[in-house]
Amino acid sequence: MEKRNGRFAIIEQLLADGIRYMFGNPGTSEEGFLDALSDYYPEFEYILALQETIAVAAADGYARSTKKPTIVQLHSGVGLGNGIGMIYQAMRGHAPLVVLAGESGLQYDAMDAQMAADLVSMAKPVTKWATRVVHPSSLLRVLRRAIKIAATPPMGPVFVSLSMDVLDAVNEEAVIPTSFAITRVAPEPDAIAEAAAMLVKASKPLIIVGDGIAYSDAQAELTHVAELIGAQVWGSDSSEPNMNATHPLYGGLLGHMFGDVSRRTTSQADVVLICGTYVFPEVFPALSGVFAPDAKIVHIDLNAYEIAKNFPVDLGLVSDPKTTLAKLGAELAKTLTPEQKRMAGQRTTKIAEIKQQQMSEQLAADQAVHDFVPMHLSQFAEELARHLPPNAIVFDEALTHSEELCRYIPPTTLGHYFQTRGGSLGVGIPGAIGIKLAHPDKTVIGFTGDGGAMYTIQALWTAARHNIDAKFVICNNRGYRILKLNILQYWQEQQIEPHEFPASFDLCKPALQFDELARAMGVQAVRVETPEEIKPAIAQALFHNGPFLIDLVIGSEVPGSPVSPKCGQ
């Protein structure tokens, strides 16, 4: 084998693993292998971001869409520090990122020089595994281990620190494709029978699911089990269509912020099946009383850490959701009595009727504001649904407006809808960029808010530079609406009389002109302020060959608030 330096060996290893993109922001300590990239273009391409947060968020979108290891390059301690918020997002969302960051060299460790930092210690809290390559002979070995760990369920980000002297040294390691373990494991038949025995006795069954369903491709198996026992299905840490949102048994998402919201649903069940998630992911979770005192709890997940983490369970199964749900469905089908099947059918009918009534009321409320100015997102979403191709992919960081969006473009199919997760703002634009790179043949549209957009607005430049044909919609309500909703809850809990929202919750002075910002970075854009402008803007965006942004100006009112909106409205 011809001798080559480590900076070339890294790219060869990535190519051997079928990896063709690196998302990053360049720095001096990585310049060696960045210089080597030109030797491998177009088989391997560097996606340039203007700030590290954007590189991580775009890689997160790509990794979520492909479910494959994705490479991020950051620059030393400063760059890693900039990216940590989004790496946290990837950790909470189980995105298989392999984050690489350069260092000036092992020989300088004792010098406490400029930009020196303990990168591994910085990365550990937000990664599955963090390490440092300390000798050229283990460069590829460590890289393969990182790729394997990132991609092994429960997936998640890993970190590898690379010193310039290791990258510049001769590397004689052979390039070998990374080995991946098979995790399609299922419980013993007795455990399946025990779970089925609990579920068939339920009179008020409930199923709680998360993105472990999507990662396991278990939507069909989950739906079959829910239909067999007549159980309503709720999402918890659920950001993908783990169940078709239009299915009569799909109830929606449990609380994101406050545990009391979830408890109102979960405490009513006598048997609860949890699959592919943990309980509960709220920011302010309930500490007790989330389940009825005598309720039976079954928890299925590949991540043993999450089972009985916060609340005891009657049966915990460390296993693959798809395989386990398939076996559980088969066991239920042969175990359910005719009377139990009849009762399950009655529950399904009742749940479906209530859901249909709620949807009718919501659609009627939307029609009541159909011609309002400032607009509601429902006006735009209804029109977009008429023109969006059937195989389009939506990245949803609409946050407080997501419910309106999903009424007209419901998440139905795995791989075609991704919602923000993890709590980091600003994923909407770069996330859509990453997904479009993964699916260049599909229409990809990313929704974000005005507050979130300003975290990563430079991502538009990346879309223009690489001609990434994603479409972006800014839900411009001129404020942090989610904070206004949350402080209403806080005032109520603290018995504080409602008053004007903090001035820091508004973004109207000066007004943000996202169409102008987009054009300044090479992205075509249009501002939409009235209902008549919606249809032409959508047509222009979908027809345009290249990235396109719609600055959608919508109302700033806050549901349930006695406080009048500001910003001139």
Predicted TM-score (pTM) of the model is 0.95
DSSP, residue by residue, 264-296: HHHTT-SEEEEESS-S---SB--SS-SS-TT-E
Region of 546 on the Ramachandran plot (φ > 0 left; ψ -120 to 50 alpha; else beta): left
| Tokens representing residue 286 in the block | 């309930």
383, 310, 416, 366: which is closest to 555 by C-alpha? Answer: 366
Q: Mind spelling out the 3-state secondary structure of 201-242?
A: CCCCEEEEECCHHHHHCCHHHHHHHHHHHCCEEEECCCCCCC
Omega prior to 154 cis, within 30 of 0:
yes
Q: Give the Cβ contact number of residue 416 at 10 Å.
A: 20
Is 281:298 a contact under the CB 8 Å cutoff?
no
pLDDT for the residue 568: 41
Residue 393 forms beta bridges with which residues? 444
How does pLDDT run across 468-506, given as a tens digit for each residue? 999 999 999 999 998 998 899 899 889 999 999 999 999
What distance in Å separates the CA atoms of residue 464 and residue 200, rounded to the nearest whole number?
55
pLDDT at position 569: 43
CA 388 to mean position of chain CA atoms: 22
Torsion angle in degrees (nearest 10) through CA of 463, 523, 425, 511: 170
pLDDT in tens, the chain (569 residues): 568 999 999 999 999 999 999 999 998 888 887 888 888 888 999 999 999 999 999 999 999 999 999 999 999 999 999 999 999 999 999 999 999 999 888 888 888 888 788 999 999 999 999 999 999 999 999 999 999 999 999 999 999 999 999 999 999 999 999 999 999 999 999 999 999 999 999 999 999 999 999 999 999 999 999 999 999 999 999 999 999 999 999 999 998 788 889 999 999 999 999 999 999 988 889 999 999 999 999 999 999 999 999 999 999 999 999 999 999 999 999 999 999 999 999 999 999 999 999 999 999 999 999 999 999 999 999 999 999 999 999 999 998 899 999 999 999 999 999 999 888 899 999 999 999 999 999 999 999 999 999 999 999 999 999 999 999 999 999 999 989 988 998 998 899 999 999 999 999 889 999 999 999 999 999 999 999 999 999 999 999 999 999 999 999 888 877 776 666 44
Whole-number Cα distances in Å, 96 to 1, 9, 141: 31, 21, 18
